[in-house]
Amino acid sequence: MSESRFTVYPALDIASGALAAPGGTARASVLGDSPAQVLDSLADAGAQWVHLVDLDRARGTGANDDAIAMAMAAAHARGLLVQLSGGVRDATSLAQAVQKGADRVNLACESINDPGWLQQVFADPPCDLNLCVDVRSGRLISRGSAVDGGPLDDALEWLATLNPRLVVTDIDADGALSGPPTALLDAVAGRGFEVIASGGVRDSADLGRLHTMAAAGVSGAIVGAALHAGMLAPGDCFAR
């Protein structure tokens, strides 16, 4: 699968200072027993990026600064680029993420409720940025805070003036291995946004379906549960 038009971002989640199941509690991965081992497996398989998540920051229950710093250093040592996510919702948390050395930062969906700040950030971004769009039943619901951001269509209308790259998640599909929300992705990409799909990927067939949407604006997919559970082989994800 070529990454020239479509990139797979393997998710590496950190909770309580340890490797965690995507969206869940601490546990090992079939790719390794520690973040460093998982990163070695991903680099050996040909990954270009890792999607590194501080789950505790995302949930507002703490932070994993030391573990995140160690994982980021290990990723960079293996030539992997880092897309950092988890609780980046304001100027302070964005500055901290940039200081950590992330190659790209995901802004939390909750930040959409501060349009003035978003306009400032995207007018003069401090680094490469994505904006997370977490959706349930046609509404923005920030996974970290459960804040209701209103109808998706209304948000997309004004976000079009900023033209951010969007990480689109169907909350009910995330971690459920129920298949990617292709209708939602198609609808958002159809509004002119570059989209990274997040959640639901079960196997290489799902990745193939998303890859066919590249020309429509779906430029990549974040893959977590299926990869760590061994349902999806790294060799099926990354260009060699």
Start-end of H helices in 35-114: 35-45, 55-59, 65-77, 91-100
DSSP type of residue 72:
H
H, E, C per residue of 107-130:
ECHHHHHCHHHHHHHHHCCCCEEE
227 CB-near residues (< 8 Å, 6+ apart): 10, 11, 29, 31, 234, 237
The residues annotated as belonging to the active site are: 13, 134
In a domain, 2, yes or no: no
In a domain, 80, yes or no: yes
In a domain, 1, yes or no: no
In a domain, 49, yes or no: yes
Are the C-beta atoms of residues 139 and 161 closer than 8 Å to each other?
A: no
pLDDT tens-place values along the chain, 240 residues long:
334 479 999 999 999 988 886 655 545 689 988 999 999 999 999 999 999 999 999 988 999 999 999 999 999 999 999 999 999 999 999 999 999 999 999 999 999 999 999 999 999 999 999 999 999 989 998 876 677 888 999 999 999 999 999 999 998 765 556 789 999 999 999 999 999 999 889 999 999 999 999 999 999 999 998 999 899 999 889 854
pTM of model > 0.75: yes
Q: What is the CATH number of the domain that holds 131?
A: 3.20.20.70
Overall number of domains in the chain: 1
Sequence length of the chain is 240
Start-end of H helices in the chain: 35-45, 55-59, 65-77, 91-100, 115-123, 152-159, 182-189, 204-211, 225-229
Q: Which domain holds residue 209?
A: 7-236
In a domain, 106, yes or no: yes
In a domain, 11, yes or no: yes
Are the C-beta atoms of residues 78 and 89 closer than 8 Å to each other?
A: no
In a domain, 142, yes or no: yes
In a domain, 89, yes or no: yes
Count of Cβ atoms closer than 10 Å to residue 62 Cβ: 14
Q: Please give the radius of gyration of the chain, using alpha carbons only, rounded to the nearest integer.
A: 16
Q: What is the distance between the alpha carbons of residues 89 and 142, in angstroms, rounded to a whole number?
A: 11
